[in-house]
Amino acid sequence: MRVLLQRVKSASVAVGGRVQGRIGQGLLAFVGIAHADDESHVQWMCEKILRLRIFEDEAGKMNLSVADVGGGILVVSQFTLYGDASKGNRPGFSEAAPPEKAERLYDETVRRLRGMTQLPVETGSFRAEMAVTLVNDGPVTILLER
């Protein structure tokens, strides 16, 4: 499981021109699921997302979590995190889980995040063409892998 986290001042995702999810300050989490992933990967990743201290405290140190700052989380599925362009010029996606499995674990990720926090957890639509808009804060971008 790979999650590309971006600390944002704001972010939104639209499907068909209609905004489906929107947050202010918080985390934009692009989620990719691999063949070998299971619920234990989801649990670890959800805990990491909620506890990762990448927001600045009063001293300007990255010492606060998204919960500490009362931020939101926008979760967007992105199988292209498993794109492999090491051979040729067109990426292959053979490491990405099949859509049925990926959707189940993506939905489980959202469900667990919502169950573990009172913070707003917004989403895009699985397998949809989405337009993601964000204002990166920092910029701070962290790749998590489990």
- Kindly name the residue from 6, 55, 79, 109 that is annotated as catalytic: 79
CA distance 104 to 99: 8
Among this protein's residues, is 30 annotated catalytic? no
Among this protein's residues, is 79 annotated catalytic? yes
Among this protein's residues, is 133 annotated catalytic? no
In this prediction the pTM is 0.96
We report the CATH number of the domain holding residue 82 as 3.50.80.10
Task: Count how many domains the chain has.
Answer: 1
- Kindly name the residue from 80, 93, 133, 141 that is annotated as catalytic: 80
Q: Residue 105 sits in which domain range?
A: 2-145
Query: Could you report the average pLDDT of every consecutive run of 10 residues in the chain (146 residues)?
Result: 98 97 98 98 98 97 98 97 95 96 98 98 95 97 97
Beta carbons within 10 angstroms of residue 92's beta carbon: 13
